[in-house]
Amino acid sequence: MPSLLLAFMLISEAIKGNFDGIDAFEIIYAVVGFFAIYIALTGKKFF
């Protein structure tokens, strides 16, 4: 759940054009969170 909130925060910052406030770790954390949620909901694996 925290990764979803982080993803929404990253999207809102990107819409505002404030790319300086976005760190690479935050992007990686959000992407990993989306993969985890997808696997938890569907039971399918990517690899």
State how far the Cα of 41 lies from the Cα of 13, in Å rounded to an integer: 27
Q: How far is CA 19 from CA 12, 16, 38, 39, in A?
A: 10, 8, 26, 29
State how far the Cα of 10 lies from the Cα of 45, in Å rounded to an integer: 25
Using the Cα atoms of residue 22, residue 27, residue 33 and residue 38 in order, give the sign of their dihedral.
positive
Domains identified in the chain, total number: 1
> Is the residue at 35 inside a domain?
yes
The pLDDT tens digits for 1-47 are 677 777 777 888 888 887 777 778 888 888 888 888 888 889 887 66
> Is the residue at 31 inside a domain?
yes
Tell me the residue range of the domain where 17 lies: 2-42
pTM: 0.60
> Is the residue at 47 inside a domain?
no
